[in-house]
Amino acid sequence: MTIASDTFDWTDVASSWDEHRHHIETMKAKLTHDLTAGLAIRPGEHVLELGAGTGELALRLGEQVGPTGSVLATDVAPGMVELLRRTLTGTANIRVAQIDARRIDLPDGSFDIVVFRMGLMLVAEPEQVLQECHRVLRSGGRLGVACWAGPQHNPWLTSVGMAAMMHGLVSGGPPTGPGGPFSLADPIKLQRLIRDSGFADVAVREVETEASFTDTDEHFDTVISLASPLAAALAAAPESTRVAVRKTAAQLIDAHRTADGLTVPGRALVGIARL
Ligand SMILES: C[S@@+](CC[C@H](N)C(=O)[O-])C[C@H]1O[C@@H](n2cnc3c(N)ncnc32)[C@H](O)[C@@H]1O
């Protein structure tokens, strides 16, 4: 199995994303701050969020645009759309829709801001997504994306991915190819990709992340339950392989052990641009 998330329906892991939503937001706190600060969102603006997952970011965006603005929180996976509906019920200025970022079924120039946090790199055709973002933004509108930086900077994920690879569950090296979590990990290339899609003032910066776990088992269980492609590969494996993968992942992540458990670093890229 080669990891290209584009072929996976994240519905399978929606309940895990629900369960771990606070952990996810804690890990992404700094990059989320930089993403929303870079977009300089104003009350009354209209925001489209793609691949919105749990809806936690949509809630924050809804507060920033206020009652005169709006947020359309969307995802392609039916299970994530259901999760969005549950999270966002009762928020007057936030609506939910199922939308594939590659084919946004909405009129030209209908948003002030488009946000895609930790999803653009999972689509095998990011150029197509960026062209669609460009099309639905009004003149002067802003784009904000966040992607993972390279595998060497993200041991929280690569430790589990490498363990799965070492035991033959996945193949092809770190998932840097189209649709893989590290496919847009080069800041210069990400900047060029956004610029070549017609955006101006493109700025891409690196942001550090940090995730804490009580022990290696919690780290393994959390990552596996959230990473849709890895979850699918592990679920299909015999018990003996699952045990071996867990043990290897624990050895690989052990370098990040602290007195309280594990504190594992990560790095993301935050890209901001305007039309
Ligand atoms: C890694 S999760 C990130 C979720 C959320 N944005 C966050 O940062 O917590 C990736 C999300 O992108 C969604 N996704 C993947 N491909 C997509 C596509 N073509 N169009 C829209 N959403 C997509 C998945 O369903 C999933 O919810």
List pLDDT tens digits, range 77-92. Answer: 999 999 999 999 999 9
Task: Share the mean pLDDT of the chain.
Answer: 93
118: left (phi over 0), alpha (psi -120 to 50) or beta: left
**Dihedral sign for Cα atoms in the order 196, 120, 122, 152:** positive
For residue 6, the model assigns a pLDDT of: 47
The residue to mutate among 21, 76, 123, having the most atoms of ligand 1 within 8 angstroms of its beta carbon, is 76
Could you tell me if residue 246 is inside a domain? no
Residue 106 has phi, psi (to 5 degrees) of -140, 155
pLDDT band at 178 (very low <50, low <70, confident <90, very high): confident
Residue 4, pLDDT > 80, answer no
Structural domain includes residue 253: no
Residue 63: give the domain boundaries. 5-152+173-212+266-274
Q: Is residue 260 part of a domain?
A: no
Closest CA to 246 of 214, 224, 264, 213: 224
State the distance from the centre of ligand 1 to the C-alpha of 240, rounded, in angstroms: 31
pLDDT digits (tens, 9 = 90+) for 14-40: 999 999 999 999 999 999 999 999 999
Task: Kindly state whether residue 182 falls inside one of the protein's structural domains.
Answer: yes
Q: Which of 138-142, 186-190, 260-264 has the lowest mean pLDDT?
A: 260-264
Q: What is the CATH number of the domain that holds 205?
A: 3.40.50.150
Measured distance CA(158)–CA(85) in Å, rounded: 32
- How many structural domains are present in the chain? 1
- Ligand 1 close to Cβ of residue 100 (< 6 A): yes
Q: How confident is the model at residue 7 (pLDDT cuts 50, 70, 90)?
A: low
Is residue 250 assigned to a domain?
Answer: no
Q: For residues 58 and 67, what is the distance between their CA atoms, to the nearest angstrom?
A: 14
- Predicted confidence (pLDDT) per residue in 209-252, tens digit: 999 999 999 999 999 888 867 888 888 889 999 999 999 999 99
Q: What is the DSSP string of 185-199?
A: --HHHHHHHHHHTT-
